[in-house]
Homo-oligomer: A and B are copies of this chain.
Amino acid sequence: MPRLPWRRLVNPYRPVEILSADQIEMIHGASLRILAEVGMEVLGDRAIDILARAGANIERSSRRVRLEPGMVEATIASAPGEFRVHARNPARHVDIGGRSLVFTSVGGPAFVTDLDRGRRPGNVADFVDYVRLIGALDIVHMEAGGPLEPTDLPVPTRHLEMYRILATNLDKTWQCLGFGRVPVDDALEVVALARGVDRDVLVREPSLMTIINSNSPLRLDGPMSEGLIEMAIHGQPIVATPFTLAGAMSPATIAGALAQQNAEALFMVVLTQLARVGAPVVYGGFTSNVDMRTGSPAFGTPEYVKAAFATGQLARRYGLPFRSSNVTGSNVVDAQAAYESEMAVWGAVMGGVNLLYQGAGWLEGGLTASYEKLILDAEILQMMSEVLQPLVIDESEIGLEAIADVGPGGHFFGTAHTLERFEHAFYRPILSDWRNFETWQDDGSRTAAVRANGIWKQLLAECEPPAMDPPIAEAIDAFVRRRTTEIQASDRA
């Protein structure tokens, strides 16, 4: 099945500027005031201790942590602007920051759906299939912590089986779960085994990533703060992402949501640097808005796009990589799913995004991983990756001689200039159907969603997970078995 080969992406375009320099400083100033005057509620003890040692103003009874502006600015300065995340296949390393652009697959949905079987709870059989499809789609540079929740696995040991499947079926980077110390430490062990390196190499060569969300407004919960610290201590990057849904978890204005997002993001960046100076961290923007009449979250809206533009400017102000996402509120793989995703992807890319989460597969505001949406998004991302390739303008490409030879009223189908370029002249889509109406109708009048259904099934049937040395696979299996037994034993105790 034709698809674009793996390649690293660099965004050649100057990011859109929606904010003036003064407006950026106004948001920056407001967020520093929020941190100094309102503060964050921090539920993790280790985080409170680290912040206390760094001189934060801590109100122990309410777990409220306030930070002085000078301390925030001094502390975040050590976060790197660019870093690399290492895969077990060195050709699949990814660079985060600068002009680089990395696409991840969907992460975290509770449900999974396809046109044949409908919507159902996430389960381990779908988890394996979906991960293999992610592996087969080279436009997806990085996996994002499990494309769906395998709810049929026991909770305490679920992460171990997820990591085993991810590590053995993918040779690209994959992400771990960030809610607590245990899932991070187990992931570090699995990824060290998969890469065949010692744990201390991982500090110099970050190989895992995870999202850390604040519970907006202004709360960092215990497991998330533990995950953040554990990742940072081990030199692994986190993506610090407030979920500032304007009108619900933040003010009903993009200005207010951005100020609050910035406060929460900077707070998490501060904590990474206190845990380990120079720990890699990404500025995550997830500001969207609710439907004011119903309270439903909305995605891929104009407000979402403008927040992405602004967030890119804020991240660059701090010299941090910028994360955004490919999102939609649609319940079905239809025109709405496509236009909301396109809005989100264009907003992110034109805003200079470095790391596009939820790049492929997200449906229903993130509640569901869709097989057909995975194919739709792969097409959207492939097309965007082609938009980023430079135009070649030279005598050979212009082909003045061909234009003169063909002359007025002729056609270029059979010219030497055309035939030389036959194979690779233009992007070849995976999903788009360009046949005329009659041919399309005779072939069953299939919509893009129906065609996507056929495509993922063919891709799944054809794809071969990348080889892994048997001793490495056995070591991962053994580790997962041992840890599973340990956790089960401690749960029984």
Contacts and interface: CB of A to CB of B under 8 A. Distances in A.
Interface in A1-28: 12-14, 16-19, 23, 26-27
Nearest to A350: B350
Interface string A444-473: 010111001000000000000000000000
A2 to B, nearest CB: 10
Contacts of A310: 391
Contacts of A249: 411-412
B253 A398 contact: yes
A332 B367 contact: no
Interface stretch (A31-39, A165-173, A223-231, A274-282): A31-39
Interface in A348-388: 350, 364-365, 367-368, 376, 379-380, 383-384, 386-387
Nearest to A12: B18
Nearest to A376: B335
A256 interface: yes
A64 B332 contact: no
Interface stretch (A86-94, A98-106, A429-437): A429-437
Nearest to A334: B447
Nearest to A63: B408
Interface string A397-429: 111101110111111110101100111011101
Contacts of A406: 217
A301 B391 contact: no
A34 B408 CA distance: 11
A310 B391 CA distance: 9
Nearest to A13: B16
B449 A413 contact: no
A447 B387 contact: no
Interface stretch (A145-153, A154-162, A339-347): A339-347
A246 B432 CA distance: 18
Interface residues on A, range: 35 or more
Contacts of A306: 387, 391
A432 B392 CA distance: 39
Given A18-B390, A251-B412, A425-B252, A404 B336 contact: no
Contact of A253 (B383, B421, B448): B421
Interface stretch (A187-195, A205-213, A291-299, A480-488): A291-299
A298 B432 contact: yes
A142 interface: no
A32 B332 CA distance: 50
Contacts of A291: 426, 434
A215 interface: yes
A41 B417 contact: no
Contact of A407 (B217, B289, B383, B393): B217
A333 interface: yes
A417 B246 CA distance: 12
A393 B447 CA distance: 43
A339 B341 CA distance: 9
A342 to B, nearest CB: 3
Contact of A292 (B258, B389, B426, B445): B426
A346 B16 CA distance: 13
A398 B27 contact: yes
A393 B26 contact: yes
Interface in A237-277: 246-256, 258-260
Contacts of A389: 302
Contact of A393 (B23, B394, B412, B433): B23
Given A337-B335, A403-B260, A447-B334, A251 B417 contact: yes
Contact of A338 (B296, B329, B339): B339
15 contacts: A26-B394, A34-B404, A218-B403, A218-B409, A246-B425, A246-B426, A251-B417, A253-B392, A255-B392, A329-B432, A331-B436, A332-B440, A334-B335, A335-B452, A339-B341
Interface of A: 12-14, 16-19, 23, 26-27, 30, 33-34, 37-41, 64, 119, 215, 217-219, 246-256, 258-260, 289-292, 294-298, 301-303, 305-306, 310, 329-343, 346-347, 350, 364-365, 367-368, 376, 379-380, 383-384, 386-387, 389-394, 397-400, 402-404, 406-413, 415, 417-418, 421-423, 425-427, 429, 431-437, 440-441, 445, 447-449, 452
Given A247-B412, A247-B425, 14 more contacts: A18-B391, A215-B409, A217-B406, A217-B411, A255-B398, A258-B393, A294-B435, A332-B440, A332-B445, A334-B447, A335-B452, A340-B432, A346-B350, A364-B437
